[in-house]
Structure 1
């Protein structure tokens, strides 16, 4: 996964996979129903990442000028998971293509946990709205 190169008559533009991951993470968390990005599952627990870790829930593969993305999210309890996942796919694809100029080949969404609104509110009050240490049980793999 090196920097991707877009060429034009004036030279080359290099875009790192980390930049693509941040763009995708910001787009995914802007979708209603998404509680946040997941840092992966360890021992059946999905870790809800804070704002500064948005790219950690995104895996990017670049092939030529095409990006393939795997987005790992946690959703709020009560949302329609397929609808939220579809909106994440659309929003991530549009954001990555518009901002980076790369084409998006795939956006695979992995729902790794469910968060109750009550848990979010308690966590926000308890640590100044930084939810990077919140852990929730994974109910969807």
Structure 2
């Protein structure tokens, strides 16, 4: 996906039909919103890869049916991750960005990305959403 300010909305529009076609039993609208927020966060706080893109992947666990939403960008760090990942899902003021993951009972994590030669190429931010 080419990185732009409209990328979050584009992710939302692509995730809905993809999960519907995959017959994911979870809430497709929630998953689309989380994908939007992860992509938007990568645009605002991350860095596109050399070709101007960020990556978005959706993986459904065959056993648990949990959904992994994974967004990759070229920035090697995630400043303030602990604060973001440990947010309460309780509404306090106007909700922003990755707060939605906690609100929908998801689990947020991140790690560095490496190429086939073991060189660090960026990071991946992941949200795991339960089916219900």
Both proteins in one fold, TM over 0.5: no
TM-score of the two chains, using structure 1 as the length reference: 0.34
Question: Which of these two proteins has the greater Rg computed from alpha carbons?
Answer: 1
More strand by share: 1
TM-score, length-scaled by structure 2: 0.35
